[in-house]
Structure 1
Amino acid sequence: MKKGIVVGLFLLFFVVGMFFFLSAVKAGTGPYIGLDYGAHSGLGSQDVRFTVAMMVRVVLGLLGTIALVIVLYAGFKWMTAGGNEENVKDAQKILMAAVIGLVIILTAYSITRFVTTRILEATKGGGFQYSDVE
């Protein structure tokens, strides 16, 4: 019984206290509240299509870098195999997988470039160059 009263009083003070401190929290937001918030939020003003195209380019670039590291690892493993056939075959498998991965990455890049260019041309009215995406 006493425990329920203590918990009830605590919740009462907590809930009532939130209403008193809410205005203090709002007071710290400064003049950038309301309709002008988006201009001062620090978010980019670029079109979403360009942002998505940039994200795809960055991801594919990172995948290409990872594939290059795998190719270098396979080459290093092959060179340090010392004539051991098992290590050479292992390195060849890794190298083949890396080359297949590079082909997939380049194909994905080509398809993405084609699709984003066509979408941007269709929504912008033509004349779009893929190099416009920074």
Structure 2
Amino acid sequence: MKQIVSMVASLGLAASVAMPMVVSAQSDSLTVNDLGVNAIQGTVKLGSGDIRSTAARIINVALGFLGIIAVVIVLIGGFQYMISGGNDTKTAEARQLIFAGIIGLAIILSAWAITSFVISRLVSATQDGVPT
């Protein structure tokens, strides 16, 4: 067991010594401020849009998917309520599912409102000129 530990430690030490030589061999395609973006810019379509609007779109899409999931939960609860056949336990489970879906929708809508407000204020505060 000690031999395995010492072998792994010596391999780690050798790799940490040899790694800077490998990295420095690639420095001709990188500059200090480039970080490799110019090297791949011709092959990869990089976005030129604003990062704030991209983040807002990602958040809105995620909240949209969560809203769809909450509506599906409410629909499943409604379907279970309709087919419960008067059974009290099934009716209670269906009501609980509907209630959970409605609470989820309320949370998602409030998250959307907060996100929309924060992003609009962020955009207006970081644009050139006087914030409105």
Structure 2: distance between partners of 1:44 and 1:121: 22
Post-superposition offset of 1:50: 1.1
**1:28-73: per-residue Cα shift (whole Å, max 9, x none)?**
xxxx987996365332111111111111001100100100110110
TM-score, length basis structure 2? 0.66
Amino acid of the structure 2 residue aligned with 1:86:
T
- Following superposition, which runs of at least 4 residues in structure 1 exceed 6 angstroms of deviation? 32-37
Asked which structure has the greater CA Rg, the reply is 1
Post-superposition offset of 1:112: 0.1
* Local SS of the residue matching 2:85: coil
Superposed, 1:55-74 pairs within 5 Å as 55-74=58-77
Q: Any gaps of 5 or more consecutive residues in structure 2? A: 1-21, 23-28
Q: Which residue of 2 aligns with 1:9?
A: none
Post-superposition offset of 1:125: 4.0
Q: Which residue of 2 aligns with 1:29?
A: none
**1:102-126: per-residue Cα shift (whole Å, max 9, x none)?**
0000000000000000000111147
Q: Which residue of 2 aligns with 1:38?
A: 37
Superposed, 1:1-134 pairs within 5 Å as 38=37, 41=41, 42=44, 43-125=46-128
Amino acid of the structure 1 residue aligned with 2:37:
G
Higher mean alpha-carbon deviation, 46-55 vs 62-71, is at 46-55
Task: Tell me the percent identity.
Answer: 44
Structure 1: distance between partners of 2:84 and 2:122: 49
Q: Any gaps of 5 or more consecutive residues in structure 1? A: 1-21, 23-31, 127-134
TM-score, length basis structure 1? 0.65
Q: CA RMSD in A?
A: 3.5
